[in-house]
Amino acid sequence: MMNVSTEIISHLTQLIKLSSITPDDAGCQQYIADQLTKSGYTYIDVSKNAVTNTLFFKDKNKPLLLFVGHTDVVPPGPLELWNCDPFTLTINDDTLYGRGVADMKGSVSVMIKILQQFNDSDKNIALLLTSDEEGDAIDGVRFAISSLLTQGFTIELAIVGEPTASLSSGDTIKIGRRGSINSTIIVKGKPGHVAYPDLTINPIILSVKPLQALCEIVFDLPCESFDLTQLQCTSVYAGNKGLRNVIPATATIEFNIRFSPAYTEVQIKEIISRHLQPFQDILTTSWTRASLPYLTTNKKAISLISSAVKSVTKKDPILSTSGGTSDGRFLSHELIPVIELGPPNATIHKPNEQILLRDLESLYTCYYQIVQAYFPDCTKVP
């Protein structure tokens, strides 16, 4: 394992120093191409607009066991909150620090080593990378997977390396995700001087009742394997910050709904519209593109991966659909079985993002066992 750990850390060191903030890949996938072509892999560019997408593979004519990752990261935020340079891999005892070590350059580094490990075998594994997971996710895996299927690739199972674990790698795997949709409500008032309120209409005061109506909505339809659908208000603001003698023209309410397959996007919009109907003369509502939920029901795939993980951790992994959205939905919507398996997620998107070396090592062993279990009849690595 020591040699494996050294190689994984070497890959991670190079990837962390490339400040690949969405959608800028910053050379990450070119570095990976340089490494994997040495091991006999072919790659094709399926990029679109400013997003970099690359597939690494050996044989297009055989079904793929596909690993999926992203090279983009969120911004580091205030640098004074970091104890180290976020774009330099810092190792303190057995803890690794840097932007992306957990989400998800750590997983990508493990995937690189897995492909290198099996480069001389008959195991037809592949790796798909994008630089647009943390952003709009329109030109990333969503576009790339459709393009690859059109080109004749067949994918039997996809493993996404998102940070899924609670305490240690392998304790939780994701078999699905709730959907997500955002909305913005503009409450219209009449601006003016605060000294003459009879000549104005205060939209902040008007927004109280529609806000209350939103907060009282209960989505109580259950769905097996999923938490209940929930609405959360994320922002309430007006445009007059610092102007204490002016009543603003509008107030804005923003909210997000995480929804299970018990509801469709259309049903959610209809429910919201019904609750806001009494206030339609004072507001307008707009919606973003919904990220739809997905659920993997392929029992064979779930059993194979769960058993492989248990052989490493000695415990049955929790099967979960919690957390945010991921690129897994785009694969699932193409009828590809998807399992998400990665390191702990406690520090992702935070200052001092970190991962334990043992979690990278455990993740490598889990992936290794999955590959061996998926291709039991192939020639073993010498």
Report the catalytic residues: 72, 133
How far is the C-alpha of 43 from the C-alpha of 56, rounded, in Å? 4
Identify the sign of the CA torsion 306, 309, 312, 318.
negative
How far is the C-alpha of 181 from the C-alpha of 293, rounded, in Å? 10
How far is the C-alpha of 330 from the C-alpha of 292, rounded, in Å? 9
CA atoms within 13 A of residue 369's CA, in its CB half-sphere:
19
10 token code pair: 């070497």
3-state secondary structure of 104: coil
> In what helix (H) or strand (E) does residue 105 lie, and over which residues does it extend?
helix 105-117
Question: Angle 2-11-96 (CA atoms, 0-180°, nearest 5)?
Answer: 70
User: In whole angstroms, what separates CA 64 from the centre of its chain?
Assistant: 22
Instruction: Kindly tell me the burial class for residue 350, based on how many C-beta atoms sit within 10 Å of its own C-beta (0-12, 13-18, 19 or more).
Output: middle
How far is the C-alpha of 92 from the C-alpha of 145, rounded, in Å? 38
